[in-house]
Structure 1
Amino acid sequence: MPLMVAALGCPPDQAPKTGRATGRGTLHIGLVNNMPDAAFKATERQFARLLASASGAVDVRLHLFSLGTVARGAAARSYLAGRYGTLRDLEGSRLDGLIVTGAEPLAATLTEEPYWAELTRVVDWAEHNTASTIWSCLAAHAAVLHLDGIARRRLPEKRFGLFDCVEVTAGGLLRGTPAGLRVPHSRWNDLAEGDLRSHGYRIASRSPEAGIDTFTKQWASLFVFLQGHPEYDADTLFREYRRDVQRFLTGTRDTMPALPAHYFEPRTEQAVAAFTERARVDRDPAVWDLFPSDWAVRPAMLQLWQASAAQLYRNWLAAVSSD
């Protein structure tokens, strides 16, 4: 059944203004999109596509929300005004499930971020007003810090690429996913498994290279935390890498980014690696013209990644509807 994106973030006016929406024959899912201007439209599209792929015969309505403390330019504010509800709208709405995206880090610590206070209000609201909430990337780190005081740790290098993951807890959210899970990761920070386990979190999947992938904790709502990005498009890691190369060549980044691990097909990886070495030696914006225009992702990896992502969200929607 096609996914419908509701106007201005809010469920129908005739619905009660608080509590969950379960039982009305339609699943109402909220998306709090905290991504910066350059990425928030793509993020909206990625989650909408993934929910549409996962919904099957279930009628799913997607309601869009934005935090006012996330910095926006004029064009983005104009776009949001016609499609997105505010935090106050969210707190007055009636949803079955919620997805909260990461955000651009601007401060040295999460508690110093300009959006920290609003993001913690989302955490507190979601605990008592959703059947389940997915916290993605920085939002996952912020939620566990707010809930249990678990601080993330800075990695020496960016965890960047498409990584093998193994199921740790049988069944549940990963039921029916391919045996060879592949999940994109793109982050500078990590959470220690020991810290999570000591506070009652259950590890659903981990990667030998990338660390914890998915973990959960049952509050009044089932909270699902993703350090990876199963929602990514096939070219998202490529575009992130290309952006960081440009930043290096123009002097706004100090180091040349590493290639995304296990992502490009071999010929592309060789061509990009050769360009990387040239750019490292001859750091000049003009070198950008030599960036390979013909590139490809490893097809088998892409198929497993997209199949895993759809099944994860299919299981999540089933959990939301059965609550």
Structure 2
Amino acid sequence: MKVGDRHYRTIWMEGAVVYMIDQNLLPFEFKVQSFKKREATCDAIRRMTVRGAGAIGAAAGFAMAQGLIANEDPDVARERIRATRPTARDLFYAVDRVYEAGKISVQAAIDEAQNLANANVEAAKKIGVYGDALIKDGARILTHCNAGWLGFVDYGSALSPVYTAHRNGKQIHVYADETRPRSQGARLTAWELSNEGVDHTIVPDNAGAFLMSAGMIDLVITGADRIAANGDVANKIGTCEKAILAKYFGIPFFVAAPLSTFDHNTPDGSAIEIEQRSQDEVHYQTGPDDNGQMHTIRVTNPGSEAFNPAFDITPASLITGFITEKGITN
């Protein structure tokens, strides 16, 4: 991840301490937080200090290693980590891999957690290389949520092809959905694109149909949190409607994800548990005033209830293809 002139990973582990970029503070403040215990890392996952499929997976693997280092009951530690974000396939994949390695030794578990994080980086790089072939010079790309550097240990999934295309000299423009209620597109994707020098525009979540109908979008690329055996995709709420629109207007809709996100034990999207998050994420927004002071304010009618599913299911029939570290497939 490029921050100024320095390269960062989104998350890493040194000894028994997990370090991660605090994504709740971006784009207004850049800060690296440290977590010394498994329960603290779990809380960071739950509170979305770290978020995005690949980064959550790495965090889960590191948390499992922390639990083993602290001599916690492995079964209890594993279940508590798995409960933090139930939709994220990479979280389950990583925690189970580290749990199994822990049966050999604590050091084996630590090594496995580090290997998984490194594998996430390499997969993201390859996704960028394969996905670049889909992006023509002058392409206008719509994204949803954040599946870039911050969503992975490094490089990202949906944005990895964008960064590769940009570095290869292609002139591209990204339209970043704001992605309410957490505004990951407006806050995180836009921040990443700014750091990379990629031309971009933040757009309201409901602008997709207008952009597509006006001939302003050539390609849609999103990430994924879990992909069922039949190709149905769980991703950030609002992804399905973008796929429906893309299908209607004849625009290619690709999902970028590593093979670790594919869940062959889940037959289709109906079997994927959808995480329900707090109403407060809909009711309140946090940001700086003109003097740079942060405030949290209510932006909805007092007394009204809110419904806040974190993800939706995009049927496989709406997806043009998948960009993985092994290539592009339909």
TM-score norm. by structure 1 comes to 0.28
TM-score norm. by structure 2 comes to 0.28
